[in-house]
Structure 1
Amino acid sequence: MRTVYVNGEYLPEDQARVSIFDRGFLMADGVYEVTSVLDGKLIDFDGHAVRLERSLGELEMASPVTREELLEIHRELVRLNDVNEGMIYLQITRGAPSDRDFVFPDAETTPSTIVLFTQNKPGLADNPAARKGMRVISIEDMRWGRRDIKTVQLLYPSMGKMMAKKAGADDAWMVQDGFVTEGTSNNAYIVKGNKIITRALSNDILHGITRAAVLRCAAEAQMEVEERNFSIDEAQEADEAFITSASTFVMPVVEIDGTKLGDGTPGSVATRLREIYLDESRKAAI
């Protein structure tokens, strides 16, 4: 049985409790992060911690722990649950006032709620899907306008994944005003003539921690990167495509809305970037 962390306590998962009045449950009034673990060490922890602080700040929400305390909690959960490859999920909400109300509770009297738990994922780095590639469909992006804040309101992305599943695909890319924003839980890229193209940062997409790291890897490998909008039509004519996220790292995309890219197998740029990212991430892991 897993040991989880709830508001300062390490507990067996079946003893973990959160109030029914918690605003994360009632209002999706919370933020989250997912940090990968490889070889028992944390990948890109500092990047996730910085983004967490930004998300909290944008929502005027207090953090119940310091960055140093958060690192220690992550490491202790890895130790207690003997995680070699996997993920740590972290969620902070505005807390549990005495009753339901749209108005934010007083932070002085309603402390934030913080929970963390681990997910063991043996073979996370050596994922067979990376050798096969994934198929995506396109759907309309119907999320709220502040996708740069990593909130727990994930209903539409969840619906998008179900749309993909029903269509026999692996995931969905969301489209707004004719251009791809991102995947349901990942950033999206295409490759044309060895140039990597991905949407520029704004409120329209999540500022991916893996995205930032992969683009640094690309620059160091002297790959050309262009940050701009692209359409599904352009993507279908690309040489290759891929996604990035904390749990998939770099994952090739081989089909978009039924159209195969190239010969329908993972491209060389995505494959090489995955190798570089995993190698560099392992070196820098804490």
Structure 2
Amino acid sequence: MNTAARTVYVNGQYLSEHDAKVSIFDRGFMFGDGIYEVTTVLDGKLVDFAGHCARLGRSMRELDMKTPCTDDVLLAIHRELVARNALVEGLVYLQVTRGAEDRDFAWSDAIQPTVVAFTQVKSLAASPLAARGARVITVPDLRWKRRDIKTVQLLYPSLAKMQAKAAGKDDAWMVEDGFVTEGTSNNAFIVTADGTLVTRQLSTSLLHGITRATVLRHAGDTGLRIEERPFSVAEAQAASEAFVTAATSFVTPVVEIDGTPVGTGVPGPVATRLREIYIEESRKSAI
């Protein structure tokens, strides 16, 4: 991580990260009453920004949260942060909370959103994890029932990631009623023995991934057969390939699930090719 002080954005101001402050009465801090988006930066440009803005708007509507500004203003904020921090590759994190007022479960009509954003330097295109493939464990999905809203309520996924780390693995897949919902911070896919790409259909059970949608479009363009349906842990272990998608990990192969190798136990050709296509097309379409 870059150790130099970053310029961050807080409620209309660009500040040194050391000077940035948010009220202790902010509902994001007290209630987890906030949402966020993470936009990838490649070659100093924003990837899938329109999709992230659309999902942010949907999350705000689902939570009856006031819209703090237009998409054009958000784009200007993102570009300004990228420029001020000379970010070439990494991400911009944006968080919107309902706002700050004296603690009460109910909020007033007068409350105004808190908006913060910052950059992170991260090597994305050349990923050692993608090259070797991720090893995952499975855990029960104990999150709330509105996982389609990208909230800051990330305690359980964080605990699951730490459980995987303690087991010497890279990540965890969450399971509900015998079927995989998603990873701790990514959408899950498998490739069956007959070459069909399978991922769970959109619902309130999982996040509607922006990278997921883009990868499915690329997969369709290559002629892959696609099924959007649930799959079990056993089906995933028996698959020829598995992978995950997310804004900052693109397409990352999964080579082991609960100690069982997937396919040949190394990144497969479908995931490898889809990752190549995603990076290539993202560089072309980034803004």
Q: State the TM-score, normalizing by the size of structure 2.
A: 0.97
1:172 corresponds to which residue? 172
1:102 corresponds to which residue? 105
By how many angstroms is 1:259 displaced?
A: 0.2
- Match of 2:207, SS state, is coil
- Match of 1:159, SS state, is helix
1:230 corresponds to which residue? 231
Question: Equivalents in 2 of 1:221, 1:244: separation in Å?
Answer: 17
Kindly provide the CA deviation profile for residues 85-116 of structure 1, in whole angstroms up to 9, marking residues without a partner as x.
0000000001001x10000222xx22100000
1:19 corresponds to which residue? 23
- Match of 1:14, SS state, is coil
2:241 corresponds to which residue? 240
- Report runs of 4+ in structure 1 exceeding 6 Å deviation: none
> What letter is aligned with 1:278?
I
> What letter is aligned with 2:69?
V
2:140 corresponds to which residue? 140
2:34 corresponds to which residue? 30
- Match of 2:28, SS state, is helix
Question: Equivalents in 1 of 2:178, 2:139: separation in Å?
Answer: 11
Question: Equivalents in 2 of 1:263, 1:131: separation in Å?
Answer: 14
> What letter is aligned with 1:85?
E
> What letter is aligned with 2:202?
L
Contact 1:34 1:88 in 2 (8 A): yes
Contact 1:63 1:112 in 2 (8 A): yes
Kindly provide the CA deviation profile for residues 100-158 of structure 1, in whole angstroms up to 9, marking residues without a partner as x.
0000222xx2210000000011x311112111000000000000000000000000000
Question: Equivalents in 1 of 2:107, 2:142: separation in Å?
Answer: 25
Question: Equivalents in 2 of 1:194, 1:88: separation in Å?
Answer: 35
Kindly provide the CA deviation profile for residues 179-202 of structure 1, in whole angstroms up to 9, marking residues without a partner as x.
000000000001012111000000
Kindly provide the CA deviation profile for residues 191-244 of structure 1, in whole angstroms up to 9, marking residues without a partner as x.
012111000000000000000000000001111110011000110000010000
Alpha carbon RMSD of aligned pairs, Å? 0.6
1:5 corresponds to which residue? 9
Are positions 1:65 and 2:69 aligned together?
yes
Kindly provide the CA deviation profile for residues 247-282 of structure 1, in whole angstroms up to 9, marking residues without a partner as x.
100000000000001221000000000001111111
> What letter is aligned with 2:174?
M
2:163 corresponds to which residue? 163
> What letter is aligned with 1:33?
E
Question: Equivalents in 2 of 1:75, 1:92: separation in Å?
Answer: 18
1:47 corresponds to which residue? 51
Question: Equivalents in 1 of 2:263, 2:213: separation in Å?
Answer: 26
Are positions 1:114 and 2:134 aligned together?
no
Q: State the TM-score, normalizing by the size of structure 1.
A: 0.98
Contact 2:181 2:188 in 1 (8 A): yes
Q: How many residue pairs get matched? A: 282
1:208-223 to 2 correspondence within 5 Å?
A: 208-223=209-224
Contact 1:63 1:92 in 2 (8 A): no
- Specify every segment of 5 or more residues in structure 1 that has no aligned partner in the other structure, as ranges: none
Question: Equivalents in 2 of 1:116, 1:274: separation in Å?
Answer: 27
- The percentage of counterpart residues that share the same residue type is 64
- Match of 1:277, SS state, is helix
Contact 1:194 1:224 in 2 (8 A): yes
- Match of 2:23, SS state, is coil
- Specify every segment of 5 or more residues in structure 2 that has no aligned partner in the other structure, as ranges: none
